[in-house]
Amino acid sequence: MIIARNIHKSYGNLEVLKGVDIHIKTGEVVSIVGESGAGKSTLLQILGTLDSPTNSKNYDTEITLAGESFINMNDKQLSKFRNQNIGFVFQFHQLLPEFTALENVLLPTKIAGANDKDALEKAYALFEDLRIEQRLHHKPNQLSGGEAQRVAVARALINSPKTIFADEPTGNLDSKNADDLHRLFFDLRDKYNQTFVIVTHNPNLAEITDRKLVMKDGMIIE
């Protein structure tokens, strides 16, 4: 469950988020749509603990995820909280270039101190689900855009986070792989009750989610 109230974000004089309220139930798959520059990525980064709201004290901003309010956590607490609770699929894949696909995917399990054998098993299963099992030992620059994106999805899912934030996860994928990834999201929700918040320009995906939120000029308008 995610409950957020009064999220504001400004860059200098530019007010990018103008008091966003959002309430997402556990196990919901929610899409966020809206034109370029509306503030979708900014909102996702803040909900995902990767960025902070502006002036949260004055605005009485509150963000609670998995029952914990994280807005006043320090960097160390936040990293731990993120590693345990949140998976992130970015608009651009952000894989580490010097590591192989498999190593990139295993990284969050190392940080979590997970058992190596379990982690490897989970990773192989994800690579198969995402049909990239032939690409385990490729470096990111040896992957196609769509393959790199799927590796990034595997990395987001490896620790089985309760909440997954995805920023245009299918932007780089052909329609078959995009459909498969959408199906995977819904399967995971059905199996593990994971929560998905997905920013997308893909109308097919937006229509099949449980709820579609529309952003415009820094506000959720419907």
> Which residues contact ligand ATP (rule: CB under 6 A)?
11, 14, 16, 34, 36-42
> Shortest Cβ distance from residue 25 to ligand ATP (Å)?
23
Say which residue the tokens 């002036």 belong to. Answer: 55
Residue window 12-51: x/- pattern of binding to Mg ion, with contact defined by CB under 5 A: -----------------------------x----------
Q: Which is nearer to ligand ATP, 6 or 109 (CB)?
A: 6
Say which residue the tokens 């929700």 belong to. Answer: 189
Q: Which is nearer to ligand ATP, 34 or 48 (CB)?
A: 34
36 vs 23: CA distance, rounded Å? 23
Q: Which is nearer to Mg ion, 11 or 191 (CB)?
A: 11
Q: Which is nearer to Mg ion, 41 or 195 (CB)?
A: 41
Q: Which is nearer to ligand ATP, 14 or 113 (CB)?
A: 14
> Shortest Cβ distance from residue 44 to ligand ATP (Å)?
8
Q: Where do the DSSP E strands lie in the chain?
A: 2-11, 14-24, 29-33, 62-65, 68-69, 86-89, 163-167, 195-199, 211-216, 219-220
Picked from ligand ATP, Mg ion, none, the partner binding residue 202 (CB below 5 to 8 A depending on kind) is none
Give 105-111's long-range contacts (Cβ < 8 A, gap of 24+): 105/151, 105/154, 105/155, 105/158, 106/158, 107/155, 108/83, 108/155, 108/158, 108/159, 109/158, 109/159, 111/83
Picked from Mg ion, ligand ATP, none, the partner binding residue 42 (CB below 5 to 8 A depending on kind) is ligand ATP
Q: Which is nearer to ligand ATP, 2 or 199 (CB)?
A: 199
Strands 86-89 and 163-167: what pairing?
A: parallel
Picked from ligand ATP, Mg ion, none, the partner binding residue 141 (CB below 5 to 8 A depending on kind) is none
30 vs 195: CA distance, rounded Å? 8
> Shortest Cβ distance from residue 43 to ligand ATP (Å)?
7
> Shortest Cβ distance from residue 168 to Mg ion (Å)?
7
82 vs 45: CA distance, rounded Å? 12
Residues that bind Mg ion (CB under 5 A): 41
